[in-house]
Amino acid sequence: MVERFAILLVALDPTRGSELQKTRPCVVVSPSEINVRLRTVVIAPITSNVKNYPTRITIDQKNVRGSIALDQIRAIDKIRIVAKIGSLDERLAMIVADRLVEFFHY
């Protein structure tokens, strides 16, 4: 099962335009209860290009460093998942959850 806030290595290619590309770490942001039922999951890619955007969250956990790009979230088929490489710690998971609420607030 793919759990929310897991860090996965995901093959994002092919992409278009300004979408983040290549095989890279991504954070699962869709709920675990949904992930178990669907063939897709919603992820936020992690980029090494750190920018001071309100939609970017710095991550520095074990072998994963960079920015979680909430402005680049997308649904992917589980077939794109290469491996699970970790999970967000509880503090960072709460920051991501809070930032997503702010991002989608209207």
Domain boundaries, the chain: 6-104
Is domain 6-104 in CATH 2.60.120.380, yes or no? no
Q: Supply angle C-alpha 33, 101, 31, rounded to 5.
A: 10
Q: For the chain, what is the mean pLDDT?
A: 94
Local confidence band at 83 (pLDDT 50, 70, 90 cut-offs): very high
Q: What is the pLDDT of residues 11-37, one digit of tens each?
A: 999 988 888 889 999 999 999 999 999
Q: 56: closest CA among 7, 105, 9, 99? A: 99
Confidence band (pLDDT; 50, 70, 90) for 98?
very high
| Phi, psi (degrees; rounded to nearest 5) at 72 | -120, 20
Q: Summarize pLDDT for 40-61 with one digit per residue, the tens.
A: 999 999 999 888 898 999 999 8
Q: Whole-prediction pTM value?
A: 0.93
